[in-house]
Structures are given as C-alpha cells and as structure tokens.
Amino acid sequence: MALPSTADILEDLEFFDDWEERYKYIIDLGQEMPKMDPQFHTQERLVKGCQSNVWINVTPIDGKLQFDVDSDAIIVRGLLALVMAAYNDNTPQQILDFDIQQYFEALDLEQHISPTRGNGLRAIVSKIRDFASAARL
C-alpha cells in the first residue's frame, strides 16, 4: 500500500481536533507501511542517535532512491511514515531540495514529541540526506 503524499497527510491532520487523535493517525500510517525484511535489521543499517532502534535500507532504482525502514517502536514507525512520504521514491536532488523543516513545522510535530524523539527524527533525516548526497556523486 502506498503512503499518502505530504500534502495529503497535512490535509488529513487538519481534521483532528487534538493531538491524541493525530498520534493515532500517525501510528496508523506506520502500521500501513510495508514491513522490512528482518535480514536488513543490521548494525550497518541502524540509525545512531535514535531512542528506539531504527533501520534504514536504501536501494537506487532508475535514478530514484527506494527506502525500506523499520523501528521497534510503533510511534517511531509512524514518524518514519511521515518522513517516507517526503523522501521515498525521489531522486537524490529532490530529497536534498525538500524543505523537511518546513514540513515538520506544518505538521506542528516537534512541539508534540519528546526531545529525544525529535533528536531521533533529525538523525533519521540526516541519514537519508547522507544517502542522497552520496548517490548524487
């Protein structure tokens, strides 16, 4: 199942009156993401700086980057879904050009997650941007 676009996610979140409902929506997004093959749960794919275990596998296909992501925490899988809506199946240049900070601000996300989750989210984004920078070379 394909994740909704960033615009669709922002539009969907407007319907919810409080953050408890938004959290449920974000968790549901994470549960809809395809499961990562456990063989990819390796140290090399583990994102450092996250409170929970987060793995990212990247595969270049036809000039675009395909990401497989996973976490052992359900809310983090939801946060990964938000990030994948922005980055998955894009060219390295599109990934580098996307204003993720503006997207997070529009989601009003960082005020509603713990500082350690916020740090983890930034580590995930940094890792993906590193992949995109390396793929552009």
DSSP 30-50: HHHSPPPPGGG--GGGBPTT-
Q: Which residues 6+ apart lie within 8 Å of 13 measured at CB? A: 22, 25, 107
Residue 50 annotated in active site: yes
**Residue 86 corresponds to which amino acid?**
A
Alpha carbon distance 94, 132 (integer Å)? 9
Alpha carbon distance 51, 72 (integer Å)? 10
From the list 3, 29, 33, 50, the catalytic residue is 50
DSSP 2-25: PPPPHHHHHHHHHT-SSHHHHHHH
Q: DSSP class of residue 55?
A: E
Quickly count helices (H) and strands (E) in the chain: 6, 2
Active site amino acids: 50
